[in-house]
Amino acid sequence: MPTTLEEKLAILQNYSACDVSDALLKLQPQTPGTPARAGYLADLTLHPSPSPINHPKIKTIAPASTIKFLPKNAPDPPLPLPTQTHHPTLIPKSTPWADLTPAHTIMVLEQPPHQHCAVVGGINALRMKQLGARGVVVGGRVRDMAEIGASGLGVWARGGSTIGSGAEARAGVWGGG
């Protein structure tokens, strides 16, 4: 039985995303009236959009570190109770959220629905790459496609925008790494 994180991640390399989704469906009972997600985040695409000729298919497996964005003027939310592996923390408004990126993780960012701003841009992508992020998944929008592409960091998002996050959103809760 694997005990270290590295051993567990090495085993996951043997499985496809569909294999993992099928296993998650079996592990998580379905609540009536709730759609089965099984780890699937809908409508994500790689940004900037790659050329099919020069984009290799790469599987990235790493622990996740999460950041939840809040509406710009929303009060701080109550935090859920910490668990053995999850210690949510409020992000002070003066803290550059990209600096919270733990090395060797995939950053998973959640943006409030129906916002039009981007929560990740070129500077954030470069900073996360410098800190050792293996990729970024954005449940929201990104901008600065040329800079994101130049950072070398894989960034998957639901869409793009020219508007910066300061217009509508702020980093609110960090889920740790």
pLDDT digits (tens, 9 = 90+) for 80-125: 777 666 678 899 888 999 999 999 999 999 999 999 999 999 999 9
- Alpha helix locations (H) across the chain? 5-12, 17-27, 122-130, 145-151
Average pLDDT over residues 8-27: 79
What's the pLDDT tens digit per position in 36-67?
A: 666 666 777 888 776 555 555 667 889 999 99
Residue 143 annotated as binding site:
yes
pLDDT confidence of residue 59: 78
Instruction: Spell out a b/e string for 42-79, using b for 16 or more CB atoms within 10 Å of the CB, else e.
Output: eeeeebbeeeeeeeeeeeeebeebbbbbbeeeeeeeee
- pLDDT beyond 80 at 172: yes
Q: With beta carbons less than 8 A apart as the criterion, state whether 130 and 101 touch.
A: no
pLDDT confidence of residue 3: 81
H or E element: which one contains 99? none
Q: With beta carbons less than 8 A apart as the criterion, state whether 34 and 130 touch.
A: no
What does the domain layout of the chain look like in residue ranges? 1-40, 41-174
- pLDDT beyond 70 at 128: yes
Return the CATH number of 41-174, one of 3.90.1170.40, 3.40.1030.10, 3.50.30.40, 1.10.3720.10. 3.50.30.40
Indicate the DSSP class of residue 69: E
Confidence label for 29 from pLDDT (cuts 50, 70 and 90):
low
pLDDT confidence of residue 62: 92
pLDDT confidence of residue 175: 87
pLDDT confidence of residue 167: 93
Cα distances from 26 to residues 15, 21, 23, 39, 148, in angstroms, run: 16, 9, 5, 12, 37
List of residues 6+ apart from 24 with CB closer than 8 A: 38, 39
pLDDT confidence of residue 40: 64
CA 55 to chain centre: 21
List of residues 6+ apart from 59 with CB closer than 8 A: 13
Confidence label for 30 from pLDDT (cuts 50, 70 and 90):
low
pLDDT confidence of residue 23: 76
User: Cis link prior to 71 (omega < 30° from 0)?
Assistant: no
- pLDDT beyond 90 at 19: no
pLDDT confidence of residue 65: 94
What's the pLDDT tens digit per position in 134-155?
A: 999 999 999 999 999 999 899 9
Residue 19 annotated as binding site:
no
